[in-house]
Structure 1
Amino acid sequence: IILPDGGALDCIIRNVSDSGCLIKIENAGALPDRISVRIDLDKAARPVEIIWRSTTLAGAMFIREPS
């Protein structure tokens, strides 16, 4: 996870689809509404919007860049 201030957090990314992913992280409730995730280290980070949270999980929707 890459935070808006440039900081980074380790997490586990699961259930990746064309529209979003599931993030497993301690204290998921403290995540800001918009972050970026890097799913593959050799690819660019993708911006996401957190659409739901629980204690250790967050559902994220990929933000589509205008073409």
Structure 2
Amino acid sequence: MSESFIEKRTHARHRVLKGGRLAFDGGGGIDCMVRNISPTGARLDVARPMGLPEQFTLLIEADQFKRRCHSVWSHDRQIGVAFD
């Protein structure tokens, strides 16, 4: 990372590698890989970040984790989400 990078997060994120799913309100969803997570958000790998709805639910079955969230940034196949 460049030296000019300014950390804007209020909570540190913890590295993880867990399978997850983004569930959509109207039904359906897509699989994702959770790369890091904090109390306020996460970084996810998804096959196609384009066309995601404004809000969705992140599910991590292994942890019985379920949180409403929305995308705050995307780059290539990665998205950053904030928990609602």
Establish whether residue 10 from structure 1 lines up as the match of residue 38 from structure 2: no
Determine which structure has the larger strand proportion and give its number. 2
Establish whether residue 60 from structure 1 lines up as the match of residue 74 from structure 2: no
Paired residues in the alignment total: 63
- TM-score, L = length of structure 1: 0.79
CA distance in 2, matches of 1:36, 1:2: 5
Larger radius of gyration: 2
- TM-score, L = length of structure 2: 0.65
Q: Tell me: higher relative CO, structure 1 or 2? Use CA pairs within 8 A at least 6 residues apart.
A: 1
Q: How large is the RMSD of aligned CA atoms in angstroms? A: 1.5
CA distance in 2, matches of 1:42, 1:58: 21
Residue segments in structure 2 that go unaligned for 5+ positions in a row? 1-21
